[in-house]
Structures are given as structure tokens and as C-alpha cells.
Amino acid sequence: MLLTSYQLGTLTLPNRLVMAPMTRSRAVDGKPTAETATYYAQRATAGLIVTEGVQPTAASQSGPFTPGLHDDEQVAAWRVVTDAVHANGGRIFAQLMHGGRIGHVEVAGHQPAGPSAIAAGTEVFTPTGMKPAPVPRAFTTAEVADQVTAFAQAARNAVEAGFDGVELHGANGYLIQQFLSSSANQRTDGYGGSVAGRIRFAAEAVGAVADAIGRERVGIRLSPGGQIQGIVEEDVPVLYGELLKALPDIAYIHVMATTDDEVLLGLRKAWPTAFVLNPGGQIGPDESTREQGERWLANGADLISYGRAYLGNPDLVERFRLGLPLVAADRDTWFGAGGGYVDYPSYQH
């Protein structure tokens, strides 16, 4: 089933493989490079590519050497990337990623901000190495609305840059999940406290983006129950069940396997449009397999996303098709400039 086509909104995907978003930390002055265009174009046989996280505002940057989509130069630089992917027959969404409390003054030039003034209790990437995550400044209620507006404007910029759509990053401990989390969000206004309060920011951000560029061009990534970067979520089935009810019928939800199968299957049943499943769960050393993907398709998923497997295998679709061995990417080259980016070849028969 992985190699069968799928209709995602107005896009006809030639297969059910999604290249998952992966930070590569290779942007220059907040812009993707010519190598970025090569990297994504090499992987254009994926049914859908979702880019690395792209900050919607300068202030939302979470780590060094990541790209943005908030000024004209960035839009122009991304146009080179989307043109290259489309020239190779691919489809590509931009992942909009607001770091929230995950950030550092050395990265964005200011104290990061989040739902509450509560540090993540982990370390964050900075230009001078890993450092403790700082205590963030809490957004005012008016500033929360500003972040919703920023997501919508970044989505418009993405369409101008030639992207086929956008995915909001609601997983892995970044801003949207911070609002969902009972540990990161201890607000007493309408964006905290109850489940209805904690899902409100996610629902408003997705709704604003859908209004800006059309529901069929929007997805959101979620990691229900995921505990990365100091996140704690209470009563995951209820929290995410209510979130799905509050979301408009966008193109897809992209769910990481960060909770048990029963909860994931419940979310699948509750969601009316495409369900993308990432079987890899939290970030770890191993690539997901074709067998894992086929199992989840048999259990109701529509598309399967692969991250690490795409690093060393730009021709992952063909390797799955022909049963060819996969190349394990060198972890030391995951982030930063240098090799391990565009120098993994397709399989040589």
C-alpha cells in the first residue's frame, strides 16, 4: 500500500510516503541555500515533502542556522527550493515552527517567550554550544493573538514562495505543544487552565492559517503524550480528542507515535481527513521500516512519514519498491554545514 497513490486535497500523491520535517541547521542569514534546493529536489519522489521547521517571525527562532519565512529575501530564497522540487515532479509543504520557550538570547537576540514563565528544564542549541533553556517571558493575552496572526502571515508568505501548503509544528515541545501542556502552560486567562483553554491557541492558529491560504493546504504535526523538552500532558486521549474536535477540517494531521496504539487508533477514528502517522515516535537513533509503515496503513493511516530514513536515502521510495538496503546517515552530520547533506547517492545497481 505504501506505493499506491493518494489524493491529498487538490494534490495527487504518487505514493504514501511523506518526508518528515527534520532540522538540518544549514541556513545562512535565515535563508535556505542552493544546497537546500538540491537536498529537497533529490527527495522529490516522496509523495509529499515537509520541510525542516521554518520560523514565522524572527523572534520565534529556536536554534541557530534555521531558516525563516518572514521577509522578502527569505521568500525569494525559498522560491528557488520549491521550483527545484516542482521541476523534479515533487510536492512540498513548509513546516511553520515557533520555538516559544525553546530558544536563547544568543539565537534570536532576546529572551524567548512562551505561555508561562517556566523554563523547559532541558538544554537548547546555541551558536556556542548547548546551554540550559532560559526562563521565558510569558506572552500577554494580546501577544498570544499576535502569534496567531504571525502564523497566518507566514503561511501567506509560504504560498508566495511556491509551497503547496504548510504544516504547523504542534509537536516536540515547541510553542503550540507548550500551550497544550499542563507543565508549560499555567496561564489563568482564556489560553490556559482547562482543556478548552489549553487547546485554544492551537485551534486559533490552525484556523487563521486555513482562512489565509485554504484548508486543503494546511496540516498540523502532533506528538500526543510526547515528553520531549520538558513537556507533560495530562489525560492525553481527552486533550487530543477535544483538540481534533476544535480544528477545522484541514488537509491532514501528522501524528507521531508518542503514545500507545489504542490512543493513536482513537485519534485516527476521530479525524475526518487524512491521517499521517510517523512510526518513529520520539527522536532516536533508528530509522523506521517499511514494515512499520505497512502495519499502520493496514490500521487506518493514510500516509506514513519517514524522517531519519530520508537522510541517507534520497531514493527511499525506489529502495522500498525494490527491497534495496537502506543507508544509515552519520549522526554527526545531522546538523550544521559540511557533508552528510546532498552527498548521499541513489542506489547504484
Give dist(CA 306, CA 308) in Å, integer.
Answer: 6
Give dist(CA 160, CA 81) in Å, integer.
Answer: 13
Could you confirm whether 174 is annotated as catalytic?
A: yes
Give dist(CA 61, CA 68) in Å, integer.
Answer: 8
- For residue 292 the three cell numbers come to 512499520
Given the C-alpha cell 502571515, which residue does it identify?
153
3-class state of residue 205 by DSSP = helix
Give dist(CA 273, CA 10) in Å, integer.
Answer: 13
The beta-strand segments (E) located in 210-344 are 218-222, 252-256, 274-278, 303-306
What residues does 167 pair with on adjacent strands? 95, 219
CB 180 within 8 A of CB 220: no
Burial of 284: CB neighbours in 10 Å, binned 0-12, 13-18, 19+: exposed
Give dist(CA 65, CA 63) in Å, integer.
Answer: 7
Q: Are strands 113-114 and 137-138 parallel, antiparallel or unpaired?
A: parallel
**Catalytic-labelled residue, pool 39, 174, 252, 310:** 174
Q: Give the list of residues 6+ apart from residue 231 with CB closer than 8 angstroms, or none.
A: 173, 177, 178, 181, 183, 184
3-class state of residue 235 by DSSP = coil
What residues does 31 pair with on adjacent strands? 28
Radius of gyration of the chain (CA): 19
CB 71 within 8 A of CB 158: no
What is residue 137's DSSP assignment?
E
> Which residues are part of the catalytic machinery?
174
